[in-house]
Amino acid sequence: MYFKLLLVFSSAVTVLANLEGPFLFFGPKSLEKFKRPALKYLDQDDLMRIYGEQAAIVVFNNQDSVPLASGNFPRLRKMLEGQTTLVLPQDFLDVHPDYISNETQMLTLQGPWSERDAQMTETFARLQDIYGAGRVLGILGNSVSQSQSAEYPEAGVWARARRQADEATSSESPPDDEKPPRVAPKFALYNATGPPGKSALLYSSGWPELRWANGSTTVLDTPVGEPTVKPTRLYTILVVRFADGDSRDKITLEFSFKQAGGWWQAVGVEVKFGVEPTGVNLKAPAPPDAPAAVLGKAYECSLPLVYSSEEATLTMPDIQMQPYMDSTEKFADAFNCIGFTTVPIWSGLMVTFIMMIALGLSITMILDIKTMDRFENNRSKQLTITVSE
């Protein structure tokens, strides 16, 4: 296609592997039906549906060390006034458009903002001329590159962020070595809406930490997409996916729960890498320490929950969980892992018991004291006290 001459192409794979959110999708009217409440992610299926509907897709890769800010692209904003746009807060796109659509083009934006703005606006307008208005999907994302230098002086955080990026990267190293620290919440909340009675919530005050027997550790701090629930015959499984560094593959955690006799219980977690069908199976602590509660109640524990096997352990601090929910709006009342049989409680009871015995003994002793009923004087004879026992 002749319009390709317009574009500066880089390798699709490296560009997409680096592309980070938030993303702006724009163009087709059909995006309207994917509009969600703020801060909602689009899952794999939705993305595939969106890509599949387009005559052509153009991905603009804005190379900068800080996420997109709309103020930098006034021309684009003006052009999009009459068009449908969709802002996706997610860090990554679960599916890349070049998997789905052969007419996917990539354009890397570099240089002054006004130039990037012009490049993007013109390319998009040109593609709409070729394929028809409303039939081209534009995707604007961000990636970090060291190739830009201080040629474009800017105030404040932009310049500072870029300087930090430059300092941290030698000019020869590949761009994907350097990423700005992602601002992710420092806790984990996995909220999976499933069929009624199968939804699940899991909260931890820290990120799950996977530690291998050889000592290497992976902190799962970047969940991707939305957690889902997978009901099977025996178990209900909460599936959470995470980015695996810069690779396109994902790490998947599958928390399994079972229910029996009006109780639910956490059984284990399976850790899967990429598309491998089987993963590493880690077991929840055995009863009575297994997370469990009556159906309709949550479980909480301020001690870390450790799923383990010989190969690895997965640790989550300070957890609260509840599967088999009708609505995931909030946790129900919780069963606490600190029951009535812990050491502090037993020792407390013990001390109280000993004190009670001591008190009882001393009261009986006091009651046993006999007081005198006669007194000595100089007229009568001397009293003799006989002690009989």
Ligand X SMILES: *[C@@H]1O[C@H](CO)[C@@H](O)[C@H](O)[C@H]1NC(C)=O
What are the start-end ranges of the H helices in the chain?
12-18, 44-52, 74-79, 97-100, 113-131, 156-168, 343-368
Secondary structure (3-state) at 319: strand
Cβ neighbours, 10 Å, residue 327: 9
Q: For ligand X, which is the closer residue by CB, 275 or 385?
A: 275
Residue 241, judged by CB atoms within 10 A of its CB (0-12, 13-18, 19+), counts as buried
Q: For ligand X, which is the closer residue by CB, 216 or 364?
A: 216
- Distance of closest approach, residue 62 Cβ to ligand X, in angstroms: 26
- Distance of closest approach, residue 52 Cβ to ligand X, in angstroms: 8
- Distance of closest approach, residue 244 Cβ to ligand X, in angstroms: 11
Q: For ligand X, which is the closer residue by CB, 327 or 352?
A: 327
CA-closest candidate to residue 221, choices 262, 186, 178:
186
Q: For ligand X, which is the closer residue by CB, 89 or 360?
A: 89
Chain residues that interact with ligand X, rule: CB under 6 A: 101-102, 191, 193, 201, 212, 214, 216, 328-330
- Distance of closest approach, residue 190 Cβ to ligand X, in angstroms: 9
Reading phi first (left if > 0) and then psi (alpha if -120 to 50, else beta), residue 187 is in: beta
Q: For ligand X, which is the closer residue by CB, 186 or 330?
A: 330
Residues 6 or more apart whose CB falls under 8 angstroms from that of 202 comprise: 188, 189, 190, 238, 255, 319, 320, 321, 322
- Distance of closest approach, residue 160 Cβ to ligand X, in angstroms: 34
Question: Encoding tokens for residue 64?
Answer: 């900068």
DSSP letters spanning 354-375: HHHHHHHHHHHHHHHPPPPS--
Q: For ligand X, which is the closer residue by CB, 117 or 254?
A: 254
- Residues 198, 236: Cα–Cα separation, whole Å: 7
- Distance of closest approach, residue 283 Cβ to ligand X, in angstroms: 18
Distances (CA, A) of 123 to 9, 69, 78, 143, 325: 13, 20, 15, 19, 48
- Distance of closest approach, residue 193 Cβ to ligand X, in angstroms: 5
Secondary structure (3-state) at 299: strand
Cβ neighbours, 10 Å, residue 277: 5
Q: For ligand X, which is the closer residue by CB, 164 or 328?
A: 328
